[in-house]
C-alpha cells in the first residue's frame, strides 16, 4: 500500500534538508556543477557559504548551470591541525596493498578533512543500509511513519541470502515492525530486513533522500555504487540527526553494537566507542563510521579488487588506527 505514496515521499524528502546542521568541510578546489545542483547544496557540501562561492566566482545571482566550474575556497579555520603527514602515511601504506581504496577522513573538532580517491565510485555493499535506515528515522521523526507499523514479508521481492538472521526464520506473510527491521539492518546487516525497508519506501525515495544530504554518486545506472566522500556525508547526517532526536542516538547505538567488527573498530583500544556500518561483496570490503576517541573523527573506506577480504578489513583497521593515533597525539 505504501508504494502508492512514493511520489508524496519524494516531496517529503526535500523537506528533510532543513534538519541537516553541520556541513562537510573540504579543501579548496574547482567543482563542476552537476544537474540538479544549487548553490545551497554546493556550499553545504564543501563547508562554506553561498556568499563566499558567489564572491569568489564573480556571480551576481544564484543561477548556475550543469558543467559550470566553480572555485571553492579553502575554509580552513585558524590553528587547525595539518593532516598532510597523516594523508601521506595512509597513501604510502595503500601503495603497498593490492586493490583500490577510497578513503575519507574528517576531524569532528575542527571540521578539517581529506580524501584519497574520495570521489571514485566504488561498490557500497551493505554500507548503503545506513542512509536507508536514516531515511526511515527521519520519516518517523516527521510523523509520517510509526515505529510499530508492520511490514509483511514477501519472499518473491524481499528474500536475499548472505548476511542476517531472517533468512533462517521468516516465511511469507510474517509481519515485522519498522523498529525491528531497522535494528536488524544495522546490527546484523540483515539483507531481508533491508530489502523490506527499501521496497516499502521505494528505492527512488531513498535515492532522493541521499541526494538531499549532498550525495553525488547515488545508484548510478541502478548500481549500488558510492564514494568515500558521500558515505562520510551520510555518517555526518546520522550524527546531526542524533543531536536533535533520541531515535538518532538509538541508531548510533545500533551502529556501535553490530556483530561485524573486522574493519574500523578492530585495532581501536577497548573502551573507545566506534559507531560504524560494514559492508562486503566479493573483492570489496567496506566500512564507514565514527570513532569517539578524545578527538573524534569520521572515517569511511570503500574498496574494490581486494581478493583477500580478511586482509582488506585488516587494511581498513590499520588505516583507522593511523588516524586514531594521530588524533590522540594532537
Q: Can you tell me whether residue 321 is helix, strand or coil?
A: helix
Burial 279-302 (b: 16+ CB within 10 A, else e): bbeebbbbbbbbbbbebbbbbbbb
Separation between Cα atoms, residue 265 and residue 270, nearest integer Å: 9
Domain ranges of the chain: 26-75
Query: In tens digits, what is the pLDDT along the chain, a chain of 330 residues?
Result: 444 455 555 444 444 433 333 344 444 578 888 888 888 888 777 767 787 788 778 787 889 989 898 988 765 555 678 999 999 999 999 999 999 999 999 999 888 999 999 999 999 999 999 999 999 999 999 999 999 999 999 999 999 999 999 999 999 999 999 999 999 999 999 999 999 999 999 999 999 999 999 999 999 999 999 999 999 999 999 999 999 999 999 999 999 999 999 999 999 999 999 999 999 999 999 999 999 999 999 999 999 999 999 999 999 999 999 999 999 999
Q: Which set of grid coordinates corresponds to residue 104?
A: 575519507
Question: CA gyration radius for the chain?
Answer: 20
Cα–Cα distances in angstroms (integers) from residue 243 to residues 65, 92, 284, in the given order: 34, 36, 32
The architecture in CATH of the region 26-75 reads Roll (3.10)
Could you give the residue ranges of the DSSP H alpha helices within 118-190? 129-141, 155-158, 178-187
Cα–Cα distances in angstroms (integers) from residue 126 to residues 18, 68, 167, 233, in the given order: 27, 34, 16, 16
Amino acid at each position: 500500500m505504501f508504494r502508492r505514496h512514493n511520489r508524496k515521499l519524494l516531496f517529503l524528502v526535500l523537506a528533510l534538508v532543513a534538519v541537516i546542521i553541520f556541513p562537510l568541510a573540504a579543501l579548496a578546489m574547482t567543482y563542476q556543477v552537476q544537474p540538479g545542483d544549487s548553490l545551497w547544496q554546493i556550499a553545504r557540501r564543501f563547508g562554506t557559504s553561498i556568499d563566499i562561492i558567489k564572491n569568489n566566482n564573480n556571480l551576481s545571482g544564484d543561477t548556475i548551470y550543469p558543467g559550470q566550474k566553480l572555485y571553492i575556497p579553502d575554509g580552513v579555520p585558524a590553528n587547525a591541525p595539518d593532516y598532510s603527514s597523516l594523508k601521506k602515511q595512509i597513501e604510502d601504506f595503500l601503495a603497498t596493498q593490492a586493490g583500490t581504496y577510497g578513503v575519507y577522513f574528517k576531524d569532528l573538532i575542527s571540521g578539517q578533512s581529506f580524501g584519497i580517491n574520495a570521489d571514485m565510485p566504488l561498490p557500497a555493499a551493505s554500507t548503503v543500509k545506513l542512509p536507508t535506515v536514516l531515511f526511515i528515522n527521519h520519516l518517523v521523526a516527521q510523523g509520517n511513519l510509526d515505529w510499530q507499523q508492520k511490514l509483511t514479508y514477501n519472499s518473491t521481492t524481499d528474500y536475499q541470502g548472505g548476511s542476517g538472521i531472517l533468512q533462517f526464520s521468516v516465511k511469507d506473510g510474517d509481519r515485522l515492525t519498522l523498529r525491528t527491521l531497522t535494528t536488524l539492518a544495522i546490527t546484523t546487516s540483515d539483507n531481508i530486513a533491508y530489502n523490506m525497508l527499501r521496497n516499502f519506501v521505494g528505492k527512488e525515495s531513498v535515492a532522493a533522500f541521499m541526494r538531499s544530504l549532498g550525495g553525488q554518486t547515488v545508484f548510478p545506472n541502478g548500481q549500488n555504487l558510492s564514494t568515500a566522500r558521500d558515505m562520510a556525508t551520510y555518517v555526518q547526517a546520522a550524527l546531526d540527526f542524533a543531536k536533535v532526536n533520541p531515535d538518532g542516538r538509538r541508531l548510533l547505538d545500533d551502529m556501535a553494537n553490530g556483530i561485524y567488527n573486522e574493519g574500523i573498530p578492530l585495532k581501536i583500544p577497548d573502551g573507545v566507542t566506534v559507531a560504524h556500518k560494514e559492508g562486503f561483496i566479493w573483492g570489496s570490503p567496506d566500512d564507514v563510521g565514527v570513532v569517539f576517541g578524545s578527538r573524534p573523527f569520521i572515517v569511511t573506506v570503500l574498496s574494490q579488487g581486494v581478493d583477500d577480504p580478511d586482509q582488506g578489513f585488516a587494511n581498513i583497521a590499520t588505516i583507522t588506527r593511523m588516524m586514531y593515533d594521530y588524533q590522540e597525539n594532537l
